[in-house]
């Protein structure tokens, strides 16, 4: 049976995963479990969930979720970024960054919208607003 193809082809199926916003549109999803590790640069046209150890760069067109079990030292770029675990590095969310109650973020952030839940920790600088090319400087 091609149940997965039927679900992907349907536009009215209720999603039970973490990315149940209306913009999912059958987008691809890459999932790393708690025992998985990644080192390097990932450019992915879809959404990514990091549940293990990750070092390097994640350039994602869709959403990025870092679970509470994850340990990430990476540059992260995505449409919506949700952090529930430990992250060290630059984070760019083209729409919204959410720091869950147990999130630990150490690094600078560029976002359009920001949500920080009670209990989250953040050390770094925030640049909010529209995304424009800007000259590097201090």
Where residue 131 falls (left for φ over 0; alpha for ψ -120 to 50; beta otherwise) is beta
What are the b/e assignments for 1-22, b being 16+ CB within 10 Å?
eeeeeeeeeeeeeeeeeebeee
Q: Is residue 44 part of a domain?
A: yes
Domain with 92 in it: 28-125
What is the predicted pLDDT for the residue at 2? 39
Sign of CA dihedral 70, 74, 78, 82: positive
What is the predicted pLDDT for the residue at 29? 94
Into how many domains does the chain fold?
1
What is the predicted pLDDT for the residue at 25? 53
pTM score of the predicted model? 0.76
Q: Is residue 116 part of a domain?
A: yes
Q: Is residue 135 part of a domain?
A: no
- Across the chain, mean pLDDT equals 82
Q: Is residue 105 part of a domain?
A: yes
Q: Is residue 51 part of a domain?
A: yes
């Amino acid at each position: 049976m091609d149940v997965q193809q039927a679900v992907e082809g349907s536009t009215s199926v209720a999603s039970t995963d973490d990315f149940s916003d209306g913009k999912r549109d059958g987008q691809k999803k890459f999932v790393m479990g708690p025992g998985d590790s990644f080192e390097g640069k990932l450019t992915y046209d879809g959404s990514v969930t990091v549940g293990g150890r990750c070092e390097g760069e994640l350039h994602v067109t869709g959403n990025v979720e870092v679970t509470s079990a994850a340990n990430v030292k990476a540059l992260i770029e995505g449409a919506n970024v949700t952090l529930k675990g430990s992250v060290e590095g630059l984070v760019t969310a083209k729409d919204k960054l959410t720091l869950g109650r147990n999130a630990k973020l150490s690094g600078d952030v560029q976002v359009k919208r920001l949500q920080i839940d009670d209990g989250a920790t953040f050390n770094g600088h925030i640049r909010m607003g529209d995304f424009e090319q800007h000259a590097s400087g201090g």
